[in-house]
Structure 1
């Protein structure tokens, strides 16, 4: 039986107050999730944090946030996609994790404010994610990036976007990626694994919540589409080396394990890490999980060396 870390217990207890997000509208859920700026002695000092507006394929404009550590030579670049079930989340919700990642990995981190469902359903968030990668690849030298060291990363729904973007890049003659880093990614919209039965209620991401997110993202007829459920991809041999970080008490644990195995069976170098005693969505919730987020970032930095 899973023994939760005390900070996970504290977080779960606090979530019992108020109406669950999956019983309100997406707009109401977003309004309830304002993120306070991270203030801590462990907060790193970076050279700059700048917002950059770009145009995507349909003519819309989205914003990237570029985190640059102190450097005197070109740095690796990590394109980061935030979590939030494709329905909420933004540059601010990913801000603390991106600051830490830039500092600990000594990389320029580019966080992507892709458009959200249900106003912008699948495939629009995916298109925004891929178009952002193309923009970064084409401009990274201008902001100090090393074009030979480009990685995609993301948490939860952002991890889902990151790995589909990696697949598209590898099969459409897109940018060459050094690696993909996936923090408890959605890899199979199914809801039937053992981990759903074990952790589907009161562990941070309920089964009802995952269904709510998925139904806002796309029609149920698309749940088996490999660009929604990348575990369904037929051929993943061309994927870059991969790190998958799983929270032990997470409904997505089993599908992430299956995805890691699929990649390994295809000959992809995979590091699959389980974070014991932690729940879905811990990454960057700094009021509760500062130490766990730092621990995760250090593992990522080591992997990317």
Structure 2
């Protein structure tokens, strides 16, 4: 279908901005931080607090913890979502994804712990997946401090954060605990950009994220692509086995270079016996969850993600083949 008119208006409004891959990292980060001013007003939650935990190499690691409204004092423990933000392992922050975390917290009725993992190129692979695994384990061990239930944990993220969630699920399976109820992968990065899936060519330019930007991201993230690009902790679709992983929600966007690799990962999970729900959002482009409250179909997608979380926390993870919405 054509690009959603509300998305097209946003694309048109941003035509004057420089291409991400043309900028130094610091300027690209500033540009992405500045656009949060255009997002919808933040959703109300009961409490937001900052925490500092030990990182995997001894350096402190920041969390932002969101607690939902409850029907009464002392409500809880709530289920827990450990969330990893995109974008490209290089950009974005707890602040750029504050709205997404608030929407998931309120919509799913869960505590959300958003992880401020180390970014490339200052900290290249595998720094980010090391941080995400450490944060997941800390949150599970300290769930009571967060007002959360250690028996009801899901990990999730968008874009590069979806990659980090998928990789964390693999590592938890292979390296021991904690138990996870699910993995929420929102338009995830699952593979190296070359040769790339067909959607890399179809959506190479004109829809926000493009092929050149993905190459720029990967170039900053990996120090040695010849050795690391096929590593399953960088490209989880290359894992030898996807069996015995937690149930997954995988969402993709029609006008996204990452569309096909996300759907291929969902299918590979399904073939490995994992419960999978996969939705392709027609007319939308990469990053659409950020426009919840301003783009109608993005708001619907957020409702779907929150509903999937509620069902998964209740032990009823939905399952469907790729459906188009």
TM-score of the two chains, using structure 1 as the length reference: 0.95
Shift of 1:257: 1.2
2:262 is matched with: 256
Q: How many residues align?
A: 301
1:1-150 equivalent positions in 2, closer than 5 A: 2-34=1-33, 35-36=36-37, 40=41, 43-71=42-70, 72-150=75-153
Q: Is the 8 A contact 1:115 1:124 kept in 2?
A: yes
Encode CA deviations 1:225-266: one digit per residue, 9 max, x unaligned. Answer: 111111100111111000001111110111111101100000
Q: Aligned in 2, Cα 1:46/1:18: closer, same or farther, shift over 3 Å?
A: closer
1:220 is matched with: 225
2:321 is matched with: none
> Are residue 299 (structure 1) and residue 304 (structure 2) matched?
yes
Gapped regions of structure 1 (runs ≥ 5): none
Q: Is the 8 A contact 2:187 2:253 kept in 1?
A: yes
2:202 is matched with: 198
- Mapped to 1, the partners of 2:198 and 2:298 lie a distance apart of 26
- Mapped to 2, the partners of 1:37 and 1:53 lie a distance apart of 29
SS of aligned partner of 2:43: coil
Question: CA-atom RMSD, angstroms?
Answer: 1.5
- Mapped to 2, the partners of 1:117 and 1:172 lie a distance apart of 24
TM-score of the two chains, using structure 2 as the length reference: 0.89
- Mapped to 1, the partners of 2:281 and 2:40 lie a distance apart of 24
Q: Is the 8 A contact 1:171 1:238 kept in 2?
A: no
Q: Aligned in 2, Cα 1:21/1:229: closer, same or farther, shift over 3 Å?
A: same
SS of aligned partner of 1:11: helix
Gapped regions of structure 2 (runs ≥ 5): 312-325
